Structure 1
Amino acid sequence: MDKMKVSYEVLLGLAAEMLLDEAVLKFRTDKLYAAIDTALASGDKDTFQRLTDELKSLHV
């Protein structure tokens, strides 16, 4: 029974880690989209390029 409890705890830990990773990814993506919009509105081509490259690297 202890072995099953350990397995369950490991799976629960992995699920929590995956949930946290997904939340961080969504937060960072949302921040990048907002910054990209700002760069577009101000006509800052270099910042736009840098931010879109960073966004692409998040989803590889």
Structure 2
Amino acid sequence: MDKMKVTYEAMLALTAEMVLDEAVLKFQTKQLHHAIDKALADGDEDTFYRLVKQLNELKQ
């Protein structure tokens, strides 16, 4: 019984970590999209390319 409880708790912790990681990824992606849009609107080419690079690295 104790081994099952430990396994269950480990799986629960892993699931929680995966959900948190996905939420952080979505948040960071959304923030980068907004910043890219602003850089485009401002005509800031250097910032645009830097942010696009960050977004591509995040997606890998």
- Unaligned runs of 5+ residues in structure 1 are none
- Count of residues in Structure 1 that have an aligned counterpart in Structure 2: 60
Give, in whole Å, the separation in 2 of the partners of 1:54 and 1:36. 10
In the other structure, the counterpart of 2:43 is: 43
1:1-60 matches, cutoff 5 A: 1-60=1-60
Give, in whole Å, the separation in 2 of the partners of 1:29 and 1:15. 21
Identity within the alignment, %: 63
TM-score, length of structure 1 as denominator length: 0.99
TM-score, length of structure 2 as denominator length: 0.99
What RMSD, in angstroms, separates the aligned Cα atoms of the two structures?
Answer: 0.3
